[in-house]
Amino acid sequence: MNSLKMAIDLELSNMKVSEKSINIIKQKIDYRNSRKMMDHFVRVACILACFMLGGTTVYATGKLLYEKIMVNEYELLSLDEMEVLNVNYLEAEEKVSNYYETSLYNYQLLSESLGIELLNTKFSDENNKMIITYQSDNKNWISIKTTAFIIGDTTNLVRVQDDDYYYYTSGKEFGSPINLQIDIMTSKEQKETGWGRDFLGNYESIDSYTIDGVKVNLLRDTIDEKVHLDIEKYRPEVKAVFVSSGIRYILSGRISVDKMKEIVRSMLE
């Protein structure tokens, strides 16, 4: 039950919304005035629409089976296995029973506090815009979301009050900051249960490859093709998913595939 709750809590941001609902949302939003923060605005609009519009079906996307990576039920290249790690649980507020959460703002401090070495990259440069959200049951699993892990050439970042999102202005190379999700198993029970991910909705698999012995899956959203958003120089979101030293990393951002591969390479070198 705790593992199922974990999946729901961690994956509510990735929801499958019907095509009809998306088109209704598009008609009601002036996207040209929303360019600074498409990720947050569209996500919130879709979630609200799920409750306001009739006939909409929503699916939480977490799957706790076999550590598979799926895109719309299509299984991708199997990644390296996640391993049970001995790490330090952070001091955190118990939000509900057996669910703890806290925030940090320094990636190196996060690594030191956990007592393990997390992958980093020259592109992050320990920028002061990171928002790190630590979530755990302090028994079986730890999930960490780092917003604005890399800011690239985006500018004018302004944090949404009481939220882990930014308004921002896109750059020439980075259409958005790059976010990082880290998943860590901390018990044999979680290993036996597994911890898979199924990216449902407007995502497609675009590449699976190996670099320095690490298997990587690349995904890309297709919402621009399906909804035809009227945004100048709109760039689809690209995700890179891989497991290194037993830890799963998921990078997400509106950059080119080649740039995402360059970032992954910099983390693994």
Quick: pLDDT tens for 19-58.
Answer: 444 444 444 333 333 334 344 444 444 443 433 333 322 2
Quick: pLDDT tens for 62-89.
Answer: 333 345 555 555 556 678 899 999 999 9
pTM for the model: 0.74
- SS3 state of residue 84: strand
